[in-house]
Structure 1
Amino acid sequence: MKKNLLKAGLGAVIVLSLGSVALAQTPATPGGQVPAATNKLDSEARGFLNDAAESGHMEVAGSKMALEKSQNAEVKQFAQKMIDDHTKVGQQLDALAKSKGYEPPKDPSLVQSAKLKALGLRDEGFDKAYADEIGVDAHEDAVKLFEKASKDVKDPEVKQFAIETLPHLQQHLQAAKNLQQSVTAKTK
């Protein structure tokens, strides 16, 4: 009887040890990302989430800069709305991506970072550059990105996120165009 208990106990220890070894063998990825084998998204959905996250980070960073640099109340009001709205959408995007086993970027892309750096160097003409680059250009790109995703992405939850967010981005684009006209009129 003691032999049978000892064999059963040893068998259980071996089985549990093998499970631990298998878990320890799971390769770690930089940045703590989930290994590709457990990632639940195809490359198109990951690409969309990646680009959308970077775009949102750029708009928030550029808008924070506008709060610091601009003296125009209309620019500051628009910038604060962009910070509030894009932060909220960014949190939703993060939660969705993480539920799918994907860790989205936490910063703008390198190209977007360079644009932000150039924008930050402006003093004269900052408001117009902000309205043009962060307001209109960035939102035109975002609208195109979300329109494409709302049609082409196969993952139903990611597609729904794109569909639900798109009208807000279109409203931002229209508000940005209005801001652009107002700022341009003041510089003439």
Structure 2
Amino acid sequence: MKHPLHATVRGTLLAAAVFLAPFAGAADKLGSADASMLKDIAEANIAEVETGKIALEKSSNGEIKSFAQMMVDDHSKGLSDTQALASTKGVKLPDSPSVKHKAVALELKALKGDTFDSRYVKQAGVGDHEATAKLLQKTQAQAKDADLKALADKMLPVVQGHLQHAQQLAARK
């Protein structure tokens, strides 16, 4: 014989499961502001990888090539970390640079020699890293999601190091 208390407990658990099902995993989702910051971080990494590859092809300056290789390596890792977080948070990331960065890439491809090196260092090296550092600082301050803040915490020192290196290169150009 079934005990009436068991039926009541089963009914309560079933009702709770039905009620709470839509909220399962909701803690893993990002709010729109956090998702936007994550997408911006991805775009910054994509742009640095792309412009770094252009510099590896176009520059004949050893210091610029070394810097460009570091950009490709470090920002590929940053993009991989960003993609991993986006996957766990259900955020679809862009897979190509922003319109602005596509225009920069086209401009860089048209340049040669010292003109290329100077523009690459000033735009992709200094300018973009200043913007990315500001984005990561904003993410640290405003993100609601702890994992997104941790990503910004991890990436910011790398980006600041790139910025300092780019500023040193720019001072020599």
**Could you tell me the TM-score, scaled by structure 2's length?**
0.82
**In structure 1, distance between residues paired with 2:165 and 2:27:** 41
Residue number among 27, 44, 47 corresponding to 2:36 in the alignment = 47
Q: CA contact under 8 A between 2:28 and 2:88: conserved in structure 1?
A: no
Structure 2 letter corresponding to 1:112: H
1:103 shift after superposition: 1.7
**In structure 2, distance between residues paired with 1:45 and 1:107:** 20
Q: CA contact under 8 A between 1:60 and 1:83: conserved in structure 2?
A: yes
What residue number does 1:151 align with? 141
Pairs aligned (count):
147
**Long gaps (5+) in structure 2:** 1-25
**In structure 2, distance between residues paired with 1:172 and 1:39:** 31
Query: What per-residue deviation string (whole Å, max 9, x for no partner) do you get for residues 91-132 of structure 1?
Result: 010000110011211111011101111111111400000000
What residue number does 1:118 align with? 107
Residue number among 147, 150, 165 corresponding to 1:160 in the alignment = 150
Q: CA contact under 8 A between 2:46 and 2:97: conserved in structure 1?
A: yes
Percent identity among equivalent residues?
40
User: Is the aligned partner of 1:95 residue 2:84?
Assistant: yes
**In structure 2, distance between residues paired with 1:180 and 1:89:** 24
Q: CA contact under 8 A between 1:39 and 1:102: conserved in structure 2?
A: no
User: Is the aligned partner of 1:69 residue 2:58?
Assistant: yes
User: Is the aligned partner of 1:128 residue 2:118?
Assistant: yes
Structure 2 letter corresponding to 1:138: D
**Long gaps (5+) in structure 1:** 1-36
Structure 2 letter corresponding to 1:126: F
Structure 1 window deviating more from structure 2 (76-85 vs 159-168): it is 159-168
Structure 2 letter corresponding to 1:121: A
1:38 shift after superposition: 9.9
SS at match of 1:82: helix
**In structure 2, distance between residues paired with 1:150 and 1:79:** 27
Structure 1 letter corresponding to 2:61: N
